Amino acid sequence: MSLETLSENRSFGGTQGVYKHKSQATGTDMTFGLFLPEEAQHGRVPVLWYLSGLTCTHENAMTKAAAQEWCADAGIAIVFPDTSPRGDDVADDAAYDLGKGAGFYVNATQDPWKPHFRMWDYVVDELPALLTGNFAVDGDAMGIAGHSMGGHGALTIAMTHPDRYRSVSAFAPIANPTASDWGRKQLTAYLGADEAVWRAHDSTVLMTEKGYPGEVLIDQGAADQFLDLLRPEALAHAMMARRQPGQFRMQPGYDHSYFFVQTFIGDHVMWHAERLL
């Protein structure tokens, strides 16, 4: 699989790169960011996946989350995939919460989305194979995290494939999309009207039915302007009912922005590092 280097910059002793490749999953060119710590010059390192939220590309968290210094200190890589396929022939919608920038980390089965919107396969299968084949990352030592729509993706992917991800965390995840306007609209568009199909992409449902074999870390801003759409209480109740090991932290005064993510990114990186190293 051909890989094009768009940029590489020295960062905290390591390298922050941006790369482009032709994706078989989406049928489009896809761009991702990858930070490799200095340790990657001497052997394979664990890798943390960071899934971004609505309207984001690979670049938002890469430049705003301030994760590189923490990853350099821990000696782990971090990868920033895009949130959806891109291109002139890719279906889109005028709303910011559907189409480009809003792939929701599912494999679409409905027109006009199904030819390209296969972000689940891209994140879970294709991009990990590309990384391990081209960079010094350890595909057997992976953690996954995300923010908002990306938190939804991280939790659902980790609970579906706990054998692949040793650790999972989320910032303000869309926690109960089958019961929220941030979810019902997109799941209907991408997956159709059968709500039973949606359940595989709802972290509250998955927490109730199967949970996660390790600990889970979730941070939620108590002043988040999207609380009614995120429905964190549903996931918190499911965790308590299941007695799921981990932490669900309501952070007073914090909103949904990258300032919130920056504040707690160190906790999340070190949480993953402790479980990956």
159-211, pLDDT tens digit by residue? 999 999 999 999 999 999 999 999 999 999 999 999 999 999 999 999 999 99
Active site residue 224: yes
Active site residue 147: no
Q: Is the pLDDT of residue 68 over 70?
A: yes
Output the six-digit token pair for 242. Answer: 């299941």
Give the model's pLDDT for residue 2: 86
In this prediction, residue 1 has a pLDDT band, given cuts at 50, 70 and 90, of low
Residue that has been written with the tokens 């199967």 in this structure: 210
| pTM check: above 0.95 | yes
The answer to whether 236 and 208 have CB atoms below 8 angstroms apart is no
Rounded-to-integer distance, Cα 134 and Cα 125, Å: 15
What is the amino acid identity at position 209? E
Q: What angle do CA 246, 82, 106 make, to 5 degrees?
A: 65
Output the six-digit token pair for 228. Answer: 């009614």
* Selected catalytic residue, list 52, 147, 224, 268: 224
In the 8-state DSSP scheme, what is residue 119? H
Active site residue 42: no
* Selected catalytic residue, list 148, 167, 169, 203: 148
* Selected catalytic residue, list 116, 147, 201, 256: 256
**Closest CA relative to residue 51, chosen from 122, 135, 111:** 122
In sequence order, the 6+-apart residues with CB closer than 8 A to the CB of 88 are none
Among residues of the chain, what percentage have pLDDT more than 70?
100
Rounded-to-integer distance, Cα 159 and Cα 271, Å: 17
Span 265-275, mean pLDDT?
98
Rounded-to-integer distance, Cα 145 and Cα 240, Å: 21
